[in-house]
Structure 1
Amino acid sequence: MKDSQPHLLVMKFGGTLMGDSKAIRHSASLVGRSTAQGVRVVVVVSAMTGVTNQLLRLADAAEQGDIAFANDEIALMRNRHFTAAQELGAAPDSETVREIREMHETLRQAVYGVYLLRELTPRSRDLIVSFGERLSAPLMTLALTQAGIRTHHLTGGQAGILTDDHFGNARPLPSTYQRVRDRLDGLLGAGLTPVVAGFMGETERGAITTLGRGGTDFSATIVGAALHAEEVWAWKDVDGVMSADPRAVPLAQNIAHLSYGEVMELAYFGAKVLHPLAVTPLQEHGIPLRVKSAADPEFAGTLVTAEPTTAEGQSVKAVTAIKGVSIITVSGAGILGVPDVVAELFQVLARENITLLMVSQSSSMSNVSLAIQSVSAVRTVAALQRALGGRQLEVAIQEGVAVLAIVGAGMRGTKGVAARLFGAMATEEINILMISQGSSELNISVAIEGKDVDVATREVHAAFGLDAAVVSGD
């Protein structure tokens, strides 16, 4: 412990662990395990399973004029939250039920405004999608209260998370950390367990923002850094960070330890366990992040710290993949020897807020290939054609691609890693479309045809000795 006060944990609960009254009650019991030992806890919650997608669908429907569908979805959502509240012990005239009713009415009005204008701006989308977390926080508060834990819930903005106005993918401002400390220290000092609605913050003018998909992880680590927590625990429905997606690789195993750099690479290249920026607030203070299993709370899970640990002979810790990728190639005489063309390509991507997964340029400088997620491909091509229209250039697109990446600090300075990766692909006659290795030597990524990605992942996982030992039933 850092001082005579009980030490502090920040616990984040994902959508599955907030999915219904049973799941919420179990999540509350995990908080109770620590508070009963005198540990101070701040809880950060996600929306109930599927609610974020439901909110996005109904917002899109309202913009397209289908207000009946939007209202039906709001009614279903209201019933789901009411049912959970009732099962958690809320009386029909309780403050929790009244709060849920009022929030759904505010949501209905916001959606009706979109319908009237037939316009869904990034700002209004953030307002609408934030209701998922805002509705789940009172349910967690109710479950904790029923367990005898004194608590108080807040939105991300009320907790002090102040962001820029990059709606849909906002970033915390430097003043956030002092604000969070000022607002939550008082609650903790009064013996309360704060419950913070994750995924969201607010601008200096009070407009609600969201931190990007998976942003509740980010909320938790922002709070953890602000309060100088001993650790941040991300409770999941899996054992921790796995060496591959278990749906593609049945022999995937839990990774006991990762560095901040390794987990960021994994998250960026498709591992859905954490938000790609989740560890960044923790780095300055060296605060550990632990990914833990709600089904097996005694299991250590995955510990994420500043320094990597690598077993002897282990160069790669995990294989991950991003599906639904497109490769956009810009080529033609207009690109030869004209360095500002490449600069202009990146400026277009920045303006359109396009995440670039991989980039390669031919040695002759006659073409540049960009790997991006397919959902952004058409918009990207249109933007490039507008920006580069006056030059002798051709913009082509290749659909149905996936990016596979191997990650591990042990690759640094180790010979033959790339050869083993390519050899595993060659065994299955998988064609490689693009190759990229970061200067940090934490990853090597390749673009391949999407239809081959699961086979490739299994083959590469086995080639680097990551398959879990099969235990005999004898």
Structure 2
Amino acid sequence: MIIMKFGGTLMGSAQAIQHSAGLVAHTVQQGERAVAVVSAMSGVTDTLIKVAGSAENGDIAFANDELALLRNRHLNTAHELGAAPDSHTMLEIRELLETLRQTVVGVYLLRELSPRSRDLIVSFGERLSAPLMAIALQQLGVHAHNLTGGQAGILTDQHFGNARPLPEAFDRIPARLEGLFGAGITPVVAGFIGETKEGAITTLGRGGTDYTATIIGAALKADEVWAWKDVDGVMTTDPRMVPEAQNIQHLSYAEIMELAFFGAKVLHPLAVTPLQEHAIPLRVKSAADPSFAGTLITGKAVRNKPVKAVTAIRQVSIITVGGALVGVPETVAEIFDTLARAQIPVLMISQSSSMANVSLVIQNAYARKAMSELKAAFAKADLVRDFEFQENIAVVAIVGEGMRGARGIAAKLFSALAEEGINLLMISQGSSEFNISLAIEDRDVAKAVQAAHKAFELEKAD
């Protein structure tokens, strides 16, 4: 049993879908059972987000123009893949497109875009791409049936925009899919989405198709989950910054979670969590070179190097809350409680040794809201007097399980950055000792990544 995930680039055109379908068909024709989990066609999710926003703001003309382009793109792709104009799949795609149009009109008429409505609109990207993969598989002689995440059994909580699977999902998924396997049918599941107990569509967060694949993999106790990418696997850093970046042969669950959290876009940050209980391996493989092993991710770390990779998060800000906080722990608690109620994630935390201030690194998308919420929460508090806001910040992190207990790692990192004249604004080491993260000015991020990569000799292959 292999679960195969395909991202937006690998679903971006009829030719790309045919190639991706060939990878599934090869596995099925070798006698393996497979599930294909697909993302929206490249760029579609971003377009749907813009369409939803324009409808809320009253610009229905822009929304209609974009919907017309999406309609043409999906219908033309289905035709190129071999779907007959009067086929069931073509009818299904047309019905989905009409439901999408009606949903957008509803947002326009109400001038209201709730998180639930937003999830419904953005879900159409994956719901439209799954039938396209099914068409391509049928053309290759593989009997396939496409399902939404909810139809496949992925039951979630009601945290729209960032939903999490409920325990019941891991029983529902085998019940929904085993019948298809018994009939010789390969399931094609729309990634990124699930449903609540009431049947409302939810999304699992950006990059959530990875998460869909691993949830299904855990539920079916798959032999492996394969995340097909347009790169050779997980790299030591972004090769656009460091051309000498190398493929990493092996990572642990903990290492890939740290990398994903600190900006590596190769996987959803929670993707490996469903696999851990059953020790199911995850492989990140190159669709351009299927014979290449890529990166194997398991529960056991290979400590051949103390530092495995360097990554960076850009477009973040630092908020510093200051005042007479000494001996008043409830003030610090209120800071985090305020941000938690507003569902604002914090990337890094630092408190001065005098306890006079607390600094927080927050993504730009949440930073202004975070500042507003904190000012409102402490409007009548005499102890909190100062709020500072720093923009154009980046976080650079080094990651590796071999760092635990190793001497001189921080010194080597700081020396490398100092030689490049890079000023450190904040420093944090995770309690796991698997990472050291630094906040710096965004203009220095490329120099910092290059310096750290060179200092730990990551250009040398494993």
> How far has the Cα of 1:321 moved from its partner?
0.2
Task: Work out the CA distance in 2 between the residues paired with 1:189 and 1:283.
Answer: 27
Deviations along 1:2-43, one digit per CA (max 9) or x if unpaired, are xxxxxx000000000000000000000001111111000011
User: 1:204-243 maps to which residues of 2 (within 5 A)?
Assistant: 204-243=197-236
SS in 2 for 1:356: coil
Deviation, 1:336, is: 2.3
* % identity of equivalent residues: 67
Q: Deviations over 1:113-158 (max 9, x none)?
A: 1101111110000000000000000000000000000011100000
Structure-2 separation of matches of 1:447 and 1:71 = 42
Deviation at 1:468, TM superposition (A): 4.4
The answer to whether the aligner puts 1:284 opposite 2:269 as a matched pair is no
Q: Which residue of 2 aligns with 1:9?
A: 2
In structure 1, the partner of 2:380 is 390
Report the AA paired with residue 431 of structure 1: N
What is the match of residue 333 of structure 2? 343
Alignment of 1:97 with 2:90, yes or no, is: yes
2:412 match: 420
1:377 maps to 367
For the residue of structure 2 that corresponds to 1:300, the secondary structure is: coil
Tell me, which stretches of 5 or more residues in structure 2 are unaligned? none
Superposed, 1:350-365 pairs within 5 Å as 350-365=340-355
Tell me the residue number matched to 1:317: 308
CA offset digits 1:421-447 (Å, max 9, x no partner): 101100100000000001211000000
Q: Is 1:328 paired with 2:314? A: no
SS of aligned partner of 1:104: helix
Residue aligned with 2:381, SS: coil
Secondary structure of the structure 2 residue equivalent to 1:165: coil
Partner of 1:406: 398
Q: Post-superposition shift, 1:391? A: 1.2
Report the equivalent of 1:3: none
Secondary structure of 1:431's match?
Answer: coil
1:270-322 Cα offsets, whole Å, 9 max, x none, are 000000000000000000000000000000000000010021xx210000000
Give the TM-score normalised by structure 1: 0.96
Q: Distance in 2 between matches of 1:441 and 1:74?
A: 48
Which secondary structure does the structure 2 equivalent of 1:403 belong to? strand
CA distance, structure 1, for counterparts of residue 430 and residue 249 of structure 2: 24
- What are the residue-to-residue correspondences of 1:129-144 with 2, within 5 Å? 129-144=122-137
- Which residue is equivalent to 1:274? 267
Aligned to 2:81: 88
Paired amino acid for 1:326: S
The offset of 1:220, in angstroms, is 0.1
Please give the per-residue CA displacement for 1:191-244, whole angstroms capped at 9, x wherever unaligned: 110000000000000000000000000000000000000000000000000100
Task: Select 1:123's aligned residue among 113, 116, 119.
Answer: 116
- Displaced runs of 4+ in structure 1, greater than 2 A? none
Three-state SS of the structure 2 residue aligned to 1:209 is strand
Distance (whole Å) between structure 2 residues aligned to residue 468 and residue 98 of structure 1: 53
- The aligned counterpart of 2:187 is 194
Per the alignment, residue 22 of structure 2 pairs with: 29
In the TM superposition, residue 361 of structure 1 has moved relative to its aligned partner by: 0.3
Q: Hey, what's the Cα distance between the residues in 1 that align with 2:15 and 2:141? A: 17
Residue 245 in structure 1 maps to residue 235 in structure 2: no
Query: Which stretch shows the higher mean deviation, 449-458 or 95-104?
Result: 95-104
1:436-451 maps to which residues of 2 (within 5 A)? 436-451=428-443
Structure 1 residue 463 and structure 2 residue 455: aligned? yes
Q: CA deviation at 1:59?
A: 0.3
State the alpha-carbon separation in 1 of the partners of residues 422 and 395 from structure 2: 13
Write the distance in 1 (CA, Å) between the matches of 2:19 and 2:355.
Answer: 58
Quote the Cα distance in structure 1 between the aligned partners of 2:42 and 2:62.
Answer: 20
For residues 196 and 365 of structure 2, the distance between their equivalents in structure 1, rounded to whole angstroms, comes to 28
